[in-house]
Structure 1
Amino acid sequence: MNDKLKLFIAVATLSVVGIIAYIPLGDFTLQQKAMIGISILAIVYWVTECVPIPVTGIVIILLEVVFGVFPLAKGLSYIASDVNMLILAGLVISIALSKYQLDRLLSLKILSFMGENTDKIVLGMMLATALLSMWIPNTAAAAIMAPVAAGMLELIRAEKGKSNAGKIMMIGVAYAATIGGIGTPVGTPPVPITIRNVKDATGYEITFAKWMAWGVPIALVLTIIAWKLLTLFYPPEVKSIPGGRSIVERELAKIGKLNKQQKTTLAIFGVAVILWLMDSFYPVLPNWTYIASLIIIILYLMPGVGTLSWDEVSREADWGVLFLVAGGLALGGGLRETGIVKMLADSIATGLTGASPYLVNIVIALVAGFSVTVFCSITATSSAFVPIAIAIASSLGMDARFTGIVAGIASCFAFLLPANTPPNAIAYSYGYFKNYEMAKVGLVLTLLSSIVLIAFMPVITLLTG
C-alpha cells in the first residue's frame, strides 16, 4: 500500500467518525455515536495499518477527548496506566537479560538436556522458547531461538522450503514464542489488558500468581500439542541431528561463567518475581503488582545497584506497544462508559439465549482466535474482543470473569499466517516453510487450543472463586 492510499484511508475514515457522530441516529447521544465511529476507525486503522499501529492508540484517545467521552486527564491516564507499568517492567527485564545473554543461556541450558534426537530437539527448542516468552516479549524470544534453530538445520544441510525438519523447527519456535506469553502477566500485552478489563467490568482483581496458576499449565499443554501436531504434519526426514549437542555446548562456552553483573541481573530478576507474587500470599498494598513493577524498573536503573543505564532502556524498549495498549484500553473504557458495549452484547446475547456456557465460550474463543488473522495484532485483537466478550457473558448471566479470560487468551492464537505476529514473521524470514504450510497446522492448532482453553474452565472457575 503506497503512502497516498494510506493517507486517503486515514482521512476518509476520520471523516466517517465525524459524520456518524453528528447525523441523527435514534436516541443515541453524541458520545455514543462518536464511540461507534471511533470503533470503526480503530478496526480500519489496525487492519490496514494506514497509520502506524501505536499511532492508532494515540488517535483513539485524542478522539475520545475531543468528543467528550473522557476528560483530557482520564484519556492521558491510559498511557500511564497500571497495565503499561507492568509491560514496561517486562521490557526492562528483557533488555537486562538480553544485554548479558542470560535469556540465551537459559534456552541453551534447556536444549543441552535434549540429546540429538530430532523430535526431542524440536520439543526442547519449543519449551525453551515458551519459557523465555513468559518473561520477555514474544518477538525477543523468537529472535533469540530462531538463529539457534538455523544452526541446527545447517548441520543436517536442511534444504529450505523442502526439509520437514526445517518446517517443524522454525514453525515450532514461532508457535512457542506466541504460546509462552500466555503464561504470565508480563509475557504478552493481551494478558494485562484482559486483567484490567476484567477488573473494570466485574471488580475482580486477578493477581500475578493466580494468572500463572492457569496460564503456565495452559501454555505448557498448548506447546506440547503444537509440537505433536508439527511432527505429525511434517515428520522430520532425519531422526537425529549429529553434532546438535556440540552446537549447544559451543554456544554455552561463548557465554562462559557468570560474572558479577550477570549475577546481579539474575538476582534482581528473582526479586522481581518475588515482588510480583507477594500479594497473592500476603496482603500488601492495593494495586501491588503495578507498584512492584515500578520498584523493579528503579532497581535495574539504580546507580550502584542496577545493571542498566537509562540510555540503554530508552534505545532498546519498544515504546510503541505502550501507546497501542493505552489506545486499546481507552477504546474498551469508552465503549463501556457510553453503554455501547452493553447494547452490542445484549444484541448478540439474544441469539445465544439458552446456549450452554461451554458452547458460548468456545464460540468466543474461536472468533477471537481466528480474528487475529484480520487484525494482525494480538494486542489489537484482545483490545477489541475482551470488553465485548465480558459484556456478552454478563448479558447471559454467565461468569464474565472466565469469558473475559477466554477471549484474552484466545486473542493470542496467532497460528495461521506469518503476517499474524512478529514471531511468525521472524521464523518465516529464514525461508524454511511456506505460508500454506503454517496455515495447515495453524488451523488445527487454533481449534484444539480453543477446546483446551474451555477444558480448563473448571480450574479457572475454582481459582477465581
Structure 2
Amino acid sequence: MARLETHPLSRWLVLATALAIAILGRLLPVPEGIARIGGATLTSDGLTAMGVLLFTLLLWLTEAIPFHITGLLGIILLALFGVESFAGVVSIGFGNHIVTFFIGVLILSSFITSSGLGNRISVFLLSRTGNRTSVILLGFMTVGALISAWITDTAVAAMLMPLGAAILKEEGVEPLKSNFGKALMISCAWGPTVGGIMTPAGAGPNPIAIGFLQEMAGVELTFLGWMAFGVPAGLLILLPTWGVLMLVFKPEMKRLKKTRAEMQEEYRRLPPMAREEKTTLLIFLLTVTLWITTPVWEHLLGIAIPISLPVLLTASIFFFPGVAETPWARVEKDISWSSIVLILAGISLGMVLYRTGAAEWLALATLGGIGTLHPFLLVLLVVIIVSLIKIFLSSNTVTATIMIPIMITLAAAVGLDALTITMPAALTASMAFIMVTSTPTNVIPYTAGYFSIRDFALGGIIVSLVSAPLVAAVIYGIGMMTGLY
C-alpha cells in the first residue's frame, strides 16, 4: 500500500471525499432492488453505517490521518447521523473488557523487554543454533514464534532485529545485496508473525476477534480454546515458512565467520540474572499458568473469568511495593495507546454495523453462497479471501475490524456455528506475510535496510499460498475432532 504524500492539500482532498461518501450514505434512500437479500434487510441506518464504514476505509487505506483518529471520527459520525447515541456507540467498544487485556499484555511485554529477559532468552536459544546460516534462520524464526505466542509480536520483532543486525554487521553484509541479510531480517518479522496466531496474546487482531465473538454471537472463546486452533496452525506453518525463506533468499554463505563456540561464549558472558529479570520471569510464568488453568479457577470460584482478568492481575503485581524497580512512567511509554484506541473504535464500528443489519446484508450480498460448500473448502475460501483483502487494507487490526463482524453475521445467516468461519478469518487476519505496512512487526526489521518492500512481498506471496491450505487443514481437522464441522 502506498502512503499518501505529506502535502496537506492531498490529505484534505481525501478527507473531503471520505466525508462526502459518509454524507451520501446518510442522505440517499435505500434502493428498492437491493434492500432485501435473503433474510437480510438494508435499512436507512444500515446504509448510513456502511457510508461511515467507507469513510473510515478510505482514510485507513490512504493514511490521510492517523488510524486511531480515523476510528474516533467514525464513532463521531455515527452519533451525528443518529445511528446510535454517542454514549451508546462509545460504550460498545470502550466498555469492552478487551481494553484491559491489551493493556495487561503491553505492560508484560514492556517488562520482558526492558528487564533484559527477552534478550537473554533470545541469545540463549540462538547460542544453540551453531554457525550454519540455514540453522540460524530457523533459530531466529523459532525464537520469534515461541516468544511472540505470549507477548505481542511487535515487541518480539523489536528484540530480534538488533540481534540480527549485529550479526550482519560482524559479517560485513551489505544491505539490499545479500540474500542472507534479506532472509535474516525477514525472519525477524515472519517468526513473530507465525507465533502471533498461536494465542490471544500474540497479536492485536486476536482479542478483537474474541471481543466480537462475545458481543455478537455470545461465544466466550477461552485462552485454551484459541490455542487449540492457533498452536497447531502456527507449528505446522513454521517449517514451510522457513523453507520458503531458504528457497527465495538462499544464503550466499553457508557458515558465519563466528564459530559455534564463540556464540556459546557470548551467551556465557551475559551477566547473571538481575532481580528485575527474575521478577519478570516469575510473573510471566504466573500469567501463563493462570491463562491455562482458567477453567479450574472458574470452577473453584464459581465465576466467569475472561482472558483479560489474569494478565491484568499479574501486570498489576509489578507495581506492588518492592516487587519491581521499573516505574510506571517508564512502562507507560511502551504502551501503544493509539493501538488501543484503534482496536476499541474498531469494535464500536463493527458492532454498529451488526446492530443495524448492515453486516448481515454485506455478508449475504458478497458471500451468501459459501454455506453450501464442503467444510474444508469453506475454511480454505475464508483464509484466501481474508489474505487477499489484507493486501488492500492497511493493517491487521483494520482487517479484523472489517472482516470479523461480517463473518460472524454470515455464519448466523447461513445457519453455521460462529466459529466455523470466524476462526479461520481471525487467524488469517494476523498473518501479515505480504505487505510491510500491515503491521509494525514488519516495519521494525524493514527499517534496518537489508530488504526492500518488493523482496518482502515476493516471499510473502509464496508463503501465503503455501500456508493457506495448511492453516485450513488444521482448523478443519481440529474442528472435526471437537464437533465444530
Letter of the 1:153 partner, please give it.
L
C-alpha deviation, 1:420, in angstroms: 2.8
Find the counterpart in structure 2 of residue 133 from structure 1: 148
Letter of the 2:449 partner, please give it.
G
RMSD, matched Cα? 2.1
Q: Does 1:432 align with 2:432?
A: no
Find the counterpart in structure 2 of residue 40 from structure 1: 54
Letter of the 1:293 partner, please give it.
V
Find the counterpart in structure 2 of residue 458 from structure 1: 477
Structure 1 CA distance for aligned equivalents of residues 266 and 90 of structure 2: 45
1:111-122 correspondence to structure 2 within 5 Å: 111-122=126-137
Q: Does 1:390 align with 2:408?
A: yes
Q: 8 Å contact 2:228–2:478 — kept in the other structure? A: no
Find the counterpart in structure 1 of residue 88 from structure 2: 74
Q: 8 Å contact 2:25–2:49 — kept in the other structure? A: no
Distance change >3 Å, CA 175–CA 290, structure 1 → 2: same
Distance change >3 Å, CA 71–CA 461, structure 1 → 2: farther
Letter of the 2:397 partner, please give it.
T
Q: 8 Å contact 1:165–1:235 — kept in the other structure? A: yes
Q: 8 Å contact 1:402–1:461 — kept in the other structure? A: no
Q: Does 1:86 align with 2:105?
A: no
Distance change >3 Å, CA 251–CA 326, structure 1 → 2: farther
Distance change >3 Å, CA 71–CA 229, structure 1 → 2: same
Structure 2 CA distance for aligned equivalents of residues 445 and 235 of structure 1: 15
Q: 8 Å contact 1:264–1:307 — kept in the other structure? A: no
* 1:183-235 deviation per Cα after TM superposition (whole angstroms, max 9, x unaligned): 11111111111112222333221111221232122222222211111112222
1:191 to 199, 203, 206: 206
Structure 1 CA distance for aligned equivalents of residues 320 and 420 of structure 2: 39
Q: Does 1:266 align with 2:281?
A: yes
Letter of the 1:326 partner, please give it.
L
Letter of the 1:46 partner, please give it.
W
Q: 8 Å contact 1:139–1:177 — kept in the other structure? A: yes
Letter of the 1:47 partner, please give it.
L
Letter of the 1:157 partner, please give it.
G
Distance change >3 Å, CA 274–CA 416, structure 1 → 2: same
Structure 2 CA distance for aligned equivalents of residues 371 and 49 of structure 1: 17
1:342 to 360, 364, 372: 360
Structure 2 CA distance for aligned equivalents of residues 224 and 3 of structure 1: 46
Distance change >3 Å, CA 52–CA 289, structure 1 → 2: same
Q: 8 Å contact 2:213–2:408 — kept in the other structure? A: yes
Letter of the 2:335 partner, please give it.
A
Q: Does 1:6 align with 2:11?
A: yes
State TM-score, norm by structure 2.
0.90
Q: Secondary structure of the residue that 1:280 maps to in structure 2?
A: helix
Q: 8 Å contact 2:371–2:378 — kept in the other structure? A: no
Structure 2 CA distance for aligned equivalents of residues 66 and 461 of structure 1: 46
Q: Secondary structure of the residue that 1:185 maps to in structure 2?
A: coil
1:173-322 correspondence to structure 2 within 5 Å: 173-243=188-258, 245=260, 248-249=263-264, 252=267, 255-283=270-298, 284=301, 285-322=303-340
C-alpha deviation, 1:255, in angstroms: 4.1
Structure 2 CA distance for aligned equivalents of residues 432 and 330 of structure 1: 39
Q: 8 Å contact 1:152–1:247 — kept in the other structure? A: no
Q: 8 Å contact 2:197–2:431 — kept in the other structure? A: no
Letter of the 1:419 partner, please give it.
T
1:56-67 correspondence to structure 2 within 5 Å: 56-67=70-81
Structure 1 CA distance for aligned equivalents of residues 308 and 164 of structure 2: 36
Find the counterpart in structure 1 of residue 399 from structure 2: 381
Q: Report the more deviating stretch, 53-62 or 37-46.
A: 53-62
C-alpha deviation, 1:49, in angstroms: 0.9
Letter of the 2:152 partner, please give it.
P
Q: 8 Å contact 1:183–1:218 — kept in the other structure? A: yes
C-alpha deviation, 1:112, in angstroms: 1.3
Q: Does 1:49 align with 2:63?
A: yes
Letter of the 2:290 partner, please give it.
L
State TM-score, norm by structure 1.
0.94
Q: 8 Å contact 1:130–1:176 — kept in the other structure? A: yes
Q: Does 1:401 align with 2:444?
A: no
Letter of the 1:120 partner, please give it.
V
Structure 2 CA distance for aligned equivalents of residues 197 and 422 of structure 1: 23
Letter of the 1:13 partner, please give it.
A
Letter of the 1:325 partner, please give it.
I
Find the counterpart in structure 1 of residue 39 from structure 2: none
Q: 8 Å contact 1:83–1:196 — kept in the other structure? A: yes
Structure 1 CA distance for aligned equivalents of residues 72 and 269 of structure 2: 43
Structure 2 CA distance for aligned equivalents of residues 324 and 250 of structure 1: 44
C-alpha deviation, 1:372, in angstroms: 1.9
Q: Report the more deviating stretch, 77-86 or 221-230.
A: 77-86
* 1:59-92 deviation per Cα after TM superposition (whole angstroms, max 9, x unaligned): 2222223333333333333124211211111100
Find the counterpart in structure 2 of residue 443 from structure 1: 461
C-alpha deviation, 1:453, in angstroms: 1.3
Structure 2 CA distance for aligned equivalents of residues 312 and 460 of structure 1: 43
1:416 to 418, 434, 437: 434
Identity %: 29
Letter of the 1:126 partner, please give it.
M
Distance change >3 Å, CA 247–CA 196, structure 1 → 2: farther
Q: Does 1:22 align with 2:37?
A: no
Distance change >3 Å, CA 15–CA 158, structure 1 → 2: same
C-alpha deviation, 1:430, in angstroms: 2.4
Structure 1 CA distance for aligned equivalents of residues 470 and 285 of structure 2: 31
Q: 8 Å contact 1:265–1:307 — kept in the other structure? A: no
Structure 2 CA distance for aligned equivalents of residues 161 and 118 of structure 1: 17
Q: 8 Å contact 1:115–1:244 — kept in the other structure? A: yes
Structure 2 CA distance for aligned equivalents of residues 187 and 385 of structure 1: 19
Structure 2 CA distance for aligned equivalents of residues 245 and 448 of structure 1: 32
Q: 8 Å contact 1:202–1:401 — kept in the other structure? A: no
